[in-house]
Chains A and B, each alone.
Chain A
Amino acid sequence: MSGGQLTPPLADGDHILGSDDAPLTLVEYGDYECPYCGMAYPIVKEVQQHLGDRLRFAFRNFPLTESHPHAEHAAEAAEEAAVQGRFWEMHDTLFEHQRALDDTQLVRYAAELGLDASEMERALDEGRRAPRVRRDFRSGVRSGVNGTPTFFINGRRYDGDWTDPSAFLRALRATAEHA
C-alpha cells in the first residue's frame, strides 16, 4: 500500500495557477492559520519561480478549525475573494498576515484589495462560502490528507520533505521526468 490519490482531480472550480499543459501539477491542502503552511508559502513561491511554465499550482482548503480559531473564516474570505475574482491576491495576503486573521482584518484586506468589503462582511456573517470550504476539506480527507500542509504531485500524495526547497524541487523534477 502506498500514499493517497487526489480525489476528486482538479476541475474548473479549483483555484489553479498555470497552464493545463504543464507537465507538473502541485496541489496543496492548506490552512491559512497553520504555521507550517505559512512556512510552505514562500517555498511554494520559490518552486513556482524555478519551474515556471512547467508547473501549475492549485490550492484547496483544509482548515483545522478546532486548533485554529480563525482558519475557517480566513478560508471563507479567500473563497469570497475568488467569487469576486481575486482569489490569489487574498490567498497571498492571508499567508502574509497569518497572525492577523480576525473578521475585521479579513474585511479590511478585502477593502485593500479593491473588493466589495460589505459583501465580504456579509459572506462571512452568513457563512456563504462555508459549503465550498467543507467540500475542499472532505475531498482532502478522502484523498488521505492527514495534516497541513499536504501536497500532491501529479495526483499522488507527496510524503517527502518540502521544507527544503531544493529537495522539493528534486522530487517535482523527478516526477516530471516520469510523467
Chain B
Amino acid sequence: MTETTVRGAAILGAGTPAPEFTLRSTPDETLSLHTLRGRPVILVFYPADWSPVCGDELALFNELVSDFREYGAELVGISVDGVWCHAAFARSRNLHFPLLADFEPKGAVSRLYGAYRDEEGTSARALFLVDGEGIIRWSYLSPVGVNPGADGILNALESLVGGSAASQPARAGREMPAGGVEVRP
C-alpha cells in the first residue's frame, strides 16, 4: 500500500484496492463503485460545487468526457455537496458525468480515500484512476487552489489502456502543477 502525505492529507496510492462506496447521484438514484467494474474509472474529488477553481476543473473534464470514453473510462465527480446542489450545478454547467454526494455521513467516502480536509470540512482536490479490477492505478493530490489539469490523468489512462483509437498528439511530459503530488507504483 502506498500513501503520500501533503500537509496532513494522505491519499491512497497506486496498488491499493479502491474502497467500495455507494453514494447518491440524484435525489432518487445511487451509484456504487462495483457497478463500474470492468472499466477504468476516474474519480475526481473536489472541494465544492460553484467555487471558481472547481468550476474550471470540472469544465475541463467535462470537455474530455468523449476522450475518456474512447479509453472506455467512466468519469465521476465527488464532493460533500448535497444532491440538490449537485443537480443545480450540473445543470448550470452542462455536465455530462455524474456528481456524487458524499453528504451523509459527511465526507465518509472522501476520508476512505484520504481525500478529506478536516479543517475545511470538504473533499480535497484529488484524482484517482481505478482499473477494471477495482485497483487504484494512479492518484494525484493537487493543492486545493490549483486546477490540476487533465494531462496527468490522460497519461495514466494511456499507460493503463494503451494507445486509444483517438489520434493523440505526441505525449506531454509527466510534469504536474507545482506543489502537487503524483502517486505512481
Q: Interface of A with B (CB < 8 Å)? A: 1-5, 7-8, 64-67, 135, 137-139, 141-147, 159
Contact = CB atoms under 8 A, between A and B. Distances in A.
Contacts of B7: none
Interface stretch (B19-27, B58-66, B112-120): B58-66
30 contacts: A1-B176, A1-B177, A1-B178, A1-B182, A3-B177, A4-B173, A4-B177, A5-B175, A7-B171, A64-B60, A65-B63, A66-B62, A66-B63, A66-B93, A135-B169, A137-B63, A138-B67, A138-B166, A139-B169, A141-B60, A141-B64, A142-B169, A142-B172, A143-B151, A144-B149, A146-B57, A146-B146, A147-B59, A147-B60, A147-B147
B170 interface: yes
Nearest to B155: A142
Contacts of A2: 175, 178
Contacts, number: 86
B104 interface: no
Contacts of A146: 56-57, 60, 146-150, 177
B96 interface: yes
Contacts of B172: 4-5, 7, 142-144
A14 to B, nearest CB: 13
* Chain B interface extent, by class: 20 to 34
Nearest to A9: B170
B149 A145 contact: yes
B37 to A, nearest CB: 27
A31 to B, nearest CB: 10
Contacts of A143: 151, 172
Contacts of A4: 149, 151, 172-173, 175, 177
Given A1-B182, A4-B151, A7-B170, A64 B63 contact: yes
B51 interface: no
B85 interface: no
A176 to B, nearest CB: 22
B173 A7 contact: yes
Nearest to A64: B59
Contact of B171 (A3, A142, A144): A142
Interface in B37-76: 56-57, 59-60, 62-64, 67
A7 B169 contact: yes
Interface string B148-185: 11110010000000000010111111011110101000
Pairs A-B, 9 closest by C-beta atoms = A146-B149, A142-B172, A146-B147, A7-B172, A66-B94, A147-B56, A144-B149, A144-B151, A1-B176
